Amino acid sequence: MASPVTHIPANTAASANTAFRSALDVVREVEPRVAAAIGAEIEDQRASLKLIASENYASPAVLLAMGNWLSDKYAEGTAGRRFYAGCRNVDTVESLAAEHARALFGAQHAYVQPHSGIDANLVAFWAVLSQRVESPALGRAGVRQVNDLGEQDWAELRRELGNQRMLGMSLDTGGHLTHGFRPNISGKMFDQRSYGTDPATGLIDYAALRATAREFRPLILVAGYSAYPRLVNFRLMREIADEVGATLMVDMAHFAGLVAGKVLTGDFDPVPHAQIVTSTTHKSLRGPRGGLVLCDSELAEHVDRGCPMVLGGPLSHVMAAKAVAFAEARRPEFQDYAQRVVDNAKALAEGLLRRGATLVTGGTDNHLVLADVSGYGLTGRQAEAALLDSGIVTNRNAVPQDPNGAWYTSGVRIGTPALTTRGLGTAEMDEIAGLIDTVLRGTTPAPGSGGTPSKAGYRLDDALRDGVAKRAADLLAGFPLYPGIDLA
């Protein structure tokens, strides 16, 4: 299937090969160990089954857009309103990125400066707080612009706003640490409460969520997930938010590519329903590492204050790469890609279930599968390490009511965006399910201290490990990564 990573026209591949080889030659002259690590990374990625749900492969065009002189510019402010002179070219790339993002997602406003998903969420949190403070109907009537407040005003606002309420999905049922998890800044900014899933089904219980919202009455209702394998009904989420006077914020970092690719529409597309939407630009969107905020026009001026409120100088070279990635995602073939991501995840889930694995919610509707590996007698950390040794890259993840906590966990999260980019299909996903099952069945916990099983150590037969790794490599040989690019 067509992909800007695997189907590179011959002339483009030759140009990209020259560009990357030349770049590494320049780096090698200054610090050869860095050049070696870069070269080793592409070989590692070529040789392993990348099944981390939050990773993908960016196109050569996206990667090359980051390595240029835009990196040398300071550009605080927004396009046309900078605190530094000489930013006309930064204005161009930022405006293009925002234009593509609005068109791609059907959003009223796009802010493309956040450096990461966490930064995007911080911008969103403070934008909502700022709107509430400055609105006579919602906050302290007549208050000056937040950026104009004096130190005494800020002290008062911290007292008044520092304990505002947030309702987000719990970490063990698939939420993200930025949705109010206590060690994260979001858990310190807000008086936070979590909603979870039905213990019997693993699905969001909207009736229970509504009851919690009515009782807790949050300022912000956060929807979105990092490890929930089903769809979210954002129309219902907005109904609940409106009923209690909350702002609906959706963090679509994981599934933004499925929204861009028009796989998630109607009630399952967050953009028409949420007042503010955040995302990363890598993961299923297949762009550079970075963040994005989409919002209604009423929140636009508050979002645009992200720098300097919580962001440092914009990464102009990364905004250029975002513009390229959004332009790629607007092409018709990206919709085909997004659908195949979901098809592959379902095939992977079905293959695991058929072999006796236990999956949270019993399957998937999106790009990821969450396997409970306790049935294999393993912790998530043991399963992750054994699979990695066998050429299969996943990450451990908590499952609902996880007895092993967030460090060792009882689950492994498996995603299909990256391998779909390489062109693998449903037949290959079934074979990969078999390889995963083979490794997990062949892994046993190693003895720990006091004769009890270790939560981290494990035993895996060398021949089994090597056999799976070889089969994984053979499978990938038919789906070359960045063909035509040879750094040797």
Q: Do residues 305 and 81 lie in contact, with contact meaning Cβ atoms separated by under 8 Å?
A: no
- Is 251 tagged catalytic? yes
Catalytic residue among 251, 269, 365, 384: 251
How does pLDDT run across 14-39, given as a tens digit for each residue? Answer: 899 999 999 999 999 999 999 999 99
Environment class of residue 46 by beta-carbon count within 10 Å: exposed (0-12), middle (13-18) or buried (19+)? middle
Which pLDDT does position 175 carry in this prediction? 81
Q: What percent of the chain has pLDDT over 70?
A: 92
Assign 144 a pLDDT band (cuts: 50, 70, 90): very low
- Is 343 tagged catalytic? no
Q: What is the mean pLDDT of the chain?
A: 90
Q: What Cα–Cα distance (Å) separates residue 321 from each residue in 63, 67, 97, 113, 318?
A: 7, 9, 8, 12, 5
- Is 444 tagged catalytic? no
Q: In sequence order, what are the residues at sequence separation of 6 or more whose Cβ sits closer than 8 angstroms to the Cβ of residue 467?
A: none
**Residue 145: pLDDT above 70?**
no
Which pLDDT does position 143 carry in this prediction? 37
**Residue 197: pLDDT above 90?**
yes
Helix (H) or strand (E) holding 193: strand 190-195
The CA distance from 283 to 280, in Å, is 7
Range list for CATH 3.90.1150.10 in the chain: 332-477
Task: Kindly state the average pLDDT of the residues 415-421.
Answer: 97
Assign 142 a pLDDT band (cuts: 50, 70, 90): very low
Catalytic residue among 6, 78, 280, 420: 280
Catalytic residue among 12, 21, 55, 76: 76
Return the sign of the alpha-carbon dihedral for residues 204, 205, 208, 210.
positive
Against a cut of 0.75, is the pTM above it?
A: yes
Helices 426-441, 332-354: inter-axial angle, 10-degree rounding: 40
Range list for CATH 3.40.640.10 in the chain: 69-329
**Residue 435: pLDDT above 60?**
yes
Which pLDDT does position 154 carry in this prediction? 53
- Is 76 tagged catalytic? yes
Task: Kindly state the average pLDDT of the residues 468-485.
Answer: 94
- The order of strands in the sheet holding 395-397 is 358-359, 368-372, 411-415, 395-397
Q: Picking from 52-66, 121-135, 193-207, 455-469, which range would have the lowest pLDDT averaged per residue?
A: 121-135
For the domain 332-477, what is the CATH code?
A: 3.90.1150.10
How does pLDDT run across 206-265, given as a tens digit for each residue? Answer: 999 999 999 999 999 999 999 999 999 999 999 999 999 999 999 999 999 999 999 999
Which pLDDT does position 149 carry in this prediction? 57
Catalytic residue among 28, 289, 330, 355: 289
3-state SS, residue 124: helix
Catalytic residue among 12, 28, 73, 74: 74
Classify domain 69-329 at the CATH topology level.
Aspartate Aminotransferase; domain 2 (3.40.640)
Catalytic residue among 50, 82, 283, 381: 283
3-state SS, residue 206: helix
Which pLDDT does position 137 carry in this prediction? 41
Which pLDDT does position 82 carry in this prediction? 87
Assign 174 a pLDDT band (cuts: 50, 70, 90): confident
